[in-house]
Amino acid sequence: MKVLRKILALLIVLALFGGGATYALTPSESINNSEKLANHDAKIKLEDLNGDFISNLKLVDSNIKTSLKINNNTFLSIFKNAVPASSELLDGNYKLVDNHIEAKLPVKLGPWNTIINTNIKVTGANNSVDLILEDAKIGKVPIPNFALEKYLKEALTGSGAGVNGNTITIKSLDLPVVVDNIEIIESNINVTASLSREKALKYAAENFNAYRRVWKY
């Protein structure tokens, strides 16, 4: 957060000349404690979706295809389980709305408690996913893309994700399939993917054995 705070300090100075930092940094909305990601009851992990991928298999033009629809509750569970326990992201609020993710993250800048908010568009193809941060603001102050890029590069160091302007690119997904497309439609994340027949048989067998162990005990 150090880089972002330095850049935002300049924005605050500019805001002072334009009508006052307090007004500029006062968010339009607040985050209730119950809305924080940290307090979401995360019962689903990414690997738990393997069974859904397998159950939706179908043969299309000699290729094995599958699909998955992820609702807001599942999305929050996967997100929480993927975030380190010490991450500041857990204090934020996230929600699938229409064709994007609404994200709100509380931050403290000097004497001001404010919120970074942005709408995140999600696109994916060829086992790669782009997260595009649109209309990013801190309080009422727009955050320029160069500031976002510096912050994101610092925040995502060591994660393997790439950053270019307001776009985060994740090039390797830990899934048993090749992701062909990801998009958010009507507040659901829709994923279409494909896999070889060999992998389909392997994961089907693994899931069958898992179910057998459950029933055995």
pLDDT tens-digit map of 72-120: 999 999 888 888 888 888 999 999 999 999 999 988 777 778 898 999 9
DSSP helix/strand/coil, 118: strand
- The DSSP output letter for 175 is S
Query: What pLDDT, on the 0 to 100 scale, is given for residue 182?
Result: 92
Of the candidates 173, 153, 145, which has an alpha carbon nearest to the alpha carbon of residue 82? 173
Residues 6+ apart with CB under 8 A from 52: 68
Percent of residues, the chain, with pLDDT higher than 90:
28
pLDDT tens-digit map of 14-52: 555 445 666 667 777 789 899 999 999 988 877 777 777
Give the rounded distance of the alpha carbon of 202 from its chain centre: 29
Give the separation between CA 28 and CA 85, rounded to whole angstroms: 28
Please say if the pLDDT value at position 128 is more than 80.
yes
pLDDT tens-digit map of 137-149: 888 888 888 888 8
DSSP helix/strand/coil, 139: coil
